[in-house]
Amino acid sequence: MKLYNSIGPNPRVVNMFLAEKGVSLPKVEVDLRAGENRQPPYQAKNPAGQTPALELDDGVVLAEILPICEYIEEIHPTPALIGSTPEERAVARMWTRRVDLNICEPMANAFRYSEGLAMFKDRVRCIPQAADDLKTLVQERLTWLDGLIEGRDFLVGDRFTIADIHLFAFMDFGRMVGQPLNPANKNIGAWFERVGARPSAAASA
Ligand SMILES: N[C@@H](CCC(=O)N[C@@H](CS)C(=O)NCC(=O)O)C(=O)O
């Protein structure tokens, strides 16, 4: 098994997930800036032309970070980062989907359409005029989340999960590329510090 890895928040999610599991995998570095991911032979492995991808020993290639993490959780169930019961897993998946759809995806698109435009304009359809609205939408959703996590250590109560990893990796990226944390969101600020202090955050940076 090997991980096609690169810079960027998506590979970081998988790397942080692996670090929390105490699992290390052979890695092949893909040069995103040079566009290696958008050409053969990498594109034959992941037709979406994105990283990361996990190649299994039988040659099957998994792309998309959430299925990759689900697979890792199944073969390395402890510590559970999705859950140990059907209910725990469903709750973690619910929060992961909330942060993905409401925050991570619009944040990534806002980056592609603004600070990342020079890199992305010839790769994907870019909508520069949407960038500011997407950034505002992300901040609105983070403020919504700030209220929801009042009194909690992590997104799913006192349990550290994939939802925390997903949101942390994107927010840590966003703050470096024109989407800073809003200091008024005190709960999110404290949560960000708490997750950032985990050894897996440094190990995956
Ligand atoms: N939905 C994909 C997103 C993957 C993605 O956007 N990866 C970025 C790196 S963070 C990438 O490959 N960017 C370069 C490009 O799209 O050319 C996933 O879940 O893995």
List pLDDT tens digits, range 92-136.
999 999 999 999 999 999 999 999 999 999 999 999 999 999 999
- Ligand 1 centre to CA of 10 (Å) is 6
What does pTM read for this prediction?
Answer: 0.97
pLDDT attached to residue 118: 97
Tokens 């202090």 belong to residue: 197
Using a 6 Å cutoff on CB, does residue 96 contact ligand 1?
no
pLDDT attached to residue 19: 98
Using a 6 Å cutoff on CB, does residue 69 contact ligand 1?
no
Average pLDDT on 155-182 reads: 97
Using a 6 Å cutoff on CB, does residue 116 contact ligand 1?
no
